[in-house]
Amino acid sequence: MYELPSAQLIDALTRSTTCRERDVLRCRTVVRRLSQDLPVFDSTWIDALVQSGKLSPFQAEMLQAGRSDQLRLADMLLIDLLSNEQYHRCYLARSANRQQFFRVEEFPEDQIPAAQAVTRLLEAAYHPGLEKPAPQYLARETSLYVITPFQQGLTARDLLIRQGRFTPEFLSLVAGFLRERLSQYARTGFVHGDIRPGNLFLGCSGSLFLLNGGVRPEAQPRWTLQTRLPFESYDHFAPEILHTGKWTHESDLYAAGCLLWQLACGRPAWFSVDPLFKINAHVEQRIPDVRELAPETDEQTTRLISQWTSPDPRLRTVSTTPQRSASARSLTSPQLISRSVRQHAIARNSFPISRHDQAKTVALGSSAAVCLAFLMWQAVGVVAASSWTEWKTIPVISSLNRQTSTPAELKEDPDQLRPLPAPQEDGTLVLEPGIRYRADDVSVVGPLLVSVQKPVETEGQPAPGLLKAEVVVTGSPWRLWGTDIRLQDILITNENPGSTAASGKKRAGETESPALCVCQSMNLHVERTVFRHSADKDSQNQPGENEVKGIAWRPIARMEPHQGVIRFVNCHFSQATTGLYIAGESRQIRFENCLMTGPHELVRFAENQKSSTLPGITLDQTTVRDAQSVVLVDLPVIPEQTSVKLDLDVTNCVFDLNEAQASLVRFLSPDDPSRSIQSINVLGQNALLGKNNALVSWTRSRQYPARVIATEGIVEGLLSYEIQFPGAAESRPEASELTSYDGPRWNSLAPGVQTAEWQVETENLFR
């Protein structure tokens, strides 16, 4: 025997939940299993109700703590705690009388009584800037509650945690939504006051909402150091609030800019558990350029973030970005948002299961079982009269059993791109040699290895030469995430613009990718990989047009002693404007037996490197041909102190650059950066530099000619030489070897790349 539930428990369940005494008694089997021969208490009955789906864990915790009265709010019952922040909580609630769910936000009383805040909010409830339908407001004890109808979906904060940073397409949609909504706020004089990831809601239907609009300015009309804010709010704190203490439209713009930056980069601009540190950072520093961590962010969104995060509030309202087309956005935004949210949304079983839902589930399961049995009976033909089955069966069912020819739609199209397979549990992604794959995002927890299946020997015959697997970039870059990323025997290319369609038009929804591959990791190792950019010759001749990086890399976290190592072995960068784009702090970069044939540079450092000392670059048996420079450093703002330092270690390399003003190192800055360069050191052995090429130069932009500048530093082992190649750069890689070299040697090999060591069949690579 076991004890029945107490009358106090039955009364608490009846008043504060949807459970009744009959629901409790139906859990006797579960109680018997939980208790076995031990005494049964009310807590055992509560655990049984949770296991039976009648109560949520949140309701059980409140009942066991003796706070059942707090589960009822007016005519609503609190079901679950969706989020629990400092000074802010969010609940899932349902009506006590009908099957209707609500989202309830709780704000603590701060500067004015909750009842007074409710009065002021009710007066502004029908403001044109508010989301429709208008929220309901309720005051209880020392808290203010904001009640809105519940919709399936996620906040941007939850999506960041479950999915990671937003893709450029997703980020562009959010930026367009925020721009339109903030423009509406400006026209109507409405101030939201609390724009942050927890208040940006993305519904499963593809809709976007800003939650809790106007609550913060009414409940806390003036900010002081004693004002209680959620910790997340300090990541979007406008610097002028420290002096004025008021929430304004300009502070909304600043918060929206910080929000877009966080969605693009996957984290706030500054790490700290101290709110005062974050306030001080917003006041004394400017938000970094978003392309430091997200180089694939489009130009419009980048300018919008830079404008909204300006320290001067007057500059935030000046429009510098053209208005996006609402009709074009509406065609894709619901589908894109809905697909992403549904993959990470809260499961339906998070809600308490009602008897109606149980009956519906049983009915659906029974119907599915009957339909499945009928289909199997028809398809397999389990009928006694076999002759009737053979001659009388529906033709479609018969064709499933006796199909002798392959339909046209099932035949494999050699030009069709295969989807990438999913990585294995150990982070290994194995591709088939000679197969063309469509570039899809790959993210793993831990190291990631992308390689090609090795050929095997058959009947004593040697294995055939290893072919590469081709990954084709048709729209967005091929994005890879992992702690350590290794690429082996891959050909990464993009669709030739002229071959996409006979009319010369691109496929719908596809745009030119800013990079062939984007990697976010602690370390990067690439072997026997080709980065080939296919572009129209007309666009290649225009400066600033069709700039596509071969591979862009950024760190996955703050730099540690064992991180930031980037290595390329036996790789070829063909016609990519930039071979390697570094967007973040790195420690060491190394190229071994590599070839770069492109219009611009082999390595480019983003404009906001945290450290003034650039990472050491080692080049061994590497050829850079028909480029403007080997290394390009962006310096949009000239530092006041002499700080920039770069060390190059070059051995048996060939640098034949394509301009009279071309140089080994080039700086991109608005003014002459000579006074900011501490030293440029080139230490090596038997490295050849074209006769018309200089060591260091600078230019304002790619459209301006470069100018040679003098810097401090040490130069050893760099020879000025008249370089002659046997063929053009656009032909086979062997045309970039110095086959007739008769100058000084460091070893038995001639300077420059040695393609024979690549161990690949180039006939299958360059078509």
Question: Using one digit for the tens of pLDDT, what is the confidence trace for 286-309?
Answer: 999 998 888 889 999 999 999 999
Over the stretch 542-594, which tens digit does the pLDDT of each residue have? 545 567 889 999 888 766 667 889 999 999 998 877 899 998 888 899 999 99
- Asked whether 168 and 296 are in contact (CB, 8 A), the reply is yes
Contacts of 631 (CB under 8 A, 6+ apart): 601, 602, 603, 604, 605, 617, 646, 648, 664, 665, 666
Residue recorded with tokens 């949304």: 345
- Please tell me the predicted confidence (pLDDT) of residue 595: 94
Mean pLDDT of 28-45: 78
SS3 state at 354: coil
- Please tell me the predicted confidence (pLDDT) of residue 213: 85
**pLDDT of 235 over the 90 cut:** yes
Q: What sign results for the dihedral spanned by CA atoms 176, 177, 178, 183? A: positive
SS3 state at 212: coil
Mean pLDDT of 641-653: 85
Characterize the bridge pairing of strands 153-155 and 200-203. antiparallel
| Residue predicted with more confidence, 337 or 350 | 337
Share of the chain above pLDDT 90, in %: 26
Instruction: Give the confidence band of 272 by pLDDT, cuts at 50, 70, 90.
Output: confident
User: Mean of the per-residue pLDDT values for the chain?
Assistant: 79
Exposure string over 302-318, b if 16+ CB within 10 A, otherwise e: bebbbbbbbbebeebee
Q: What sign results for the dihedral spanned by CA atoms 164, 207, 175, 132? A: negative
Q: What are residue 371's phi and psi, to 5 degrees? A: -65, -40
SS3 state at 336: helix
- Please tell me the predicted confidence (pLDDT) of residue 248: 92
CA separation, residue 289 to residues 125, 147, 668 (Å): 38, 37, 16
CA distance 189 to 635: 40
- Please tell me the predicted confidence (pLDDT) of residue 635: 83
Over the stretch 155-200, which tens digit does the pLDDT of each residue have? 898 888 888 888 888 899 999 999 999 998 888 888 999 999 999 9
| Residue predicted with more confidence, 540 or 702 | 702
| Residue predicted with more confidence, 248 or 381 | 248
**pLDDT of 386 over the 70 cut:** no
- Please tell me the predicted confidence (pLDDT) of residue 493: 92
**pLDDT of 408 over the 50 cut:** no
Over the stretch 431-460, which tens digit does the pLDDT of each residue have? 999 899 999 999 988 899 999 988 765 555
Mean pLDDT of 349-372: 60
48-57, 240-249, 416-425, 450-459: lowest mean pLDDT where? 450-459
Name, of 333-342, 372-381, 404-413, the range with top average pLDDT: 333-342
- Please tell me the predicted confidence (pLDDT) of residue 50: 87
Instruction: Give the confidence band of 64 by pLDDT, cuts at 50, 70, 90.
Output: confident
Q: What is the DSSP string of 110-145?
A: -SS-HHHHHHHHHHTTT-TTS-SSPPEEEEETTEEE
* Closest by CA position to 255, among listed 275, 270, 284, 234: 234
Mean pLDDT of 246-253: 93
| Residue predicted with more confidence, 280 or 136 | 280
Question: Which pTM value belongs to this model?
Answer: 0.48
Name, of 217-221, 321-325, 441-445, the range with top average pLDDT: 441-445
**pLDDT of 16 over the 70 cut:** yes
- Please tell me the predicted confidence (pLDDT) of residue 379: 54
Residue recorded with tokens 């006979």: 502
- Please tell me the predicted confidence (pLDDT) of residue 109: 66
* Closest by CA position to 626, among listed 695, 680, 579: 579
> H/E/C letters for each residue in 394-440?
CHHHHHHHCCCCCCHHHCCCCCCCEECCCCCCCCEEEECCCCEEECC
152-156, 399-403, 435-439: lowest mean pLDDT where? 399-403
| Residue predicted with more confidence, 733 or 128 | 733
CA distance 682 to 720: 14
Mean pLDDT of 526-550: 71
Instruction: Give the confidence band of 654 by pLDDT, cuts at 50, 70, 90.
Output: very high
CA distance 694 to 660: 8
H or E element, residue 105: strand 101-108
Would you tell me how many other CB atoms lie within 10 Å of the CB of residue 513?
22
Instruction: Give the confidence band of 609 by pLDDT, cuts at 50, 70, 90.
Output: low
Mean pLDDT of 743-759: 81
- Please tell me the predicted confidence (pLDDT) of residue 596: 92
**pLDDT of 227 over the 90 cut:** no
Mean pLDDT of 600-622: 81
Q: What are residue 736's phi and psi, to 5 degrees? A: -105, 15
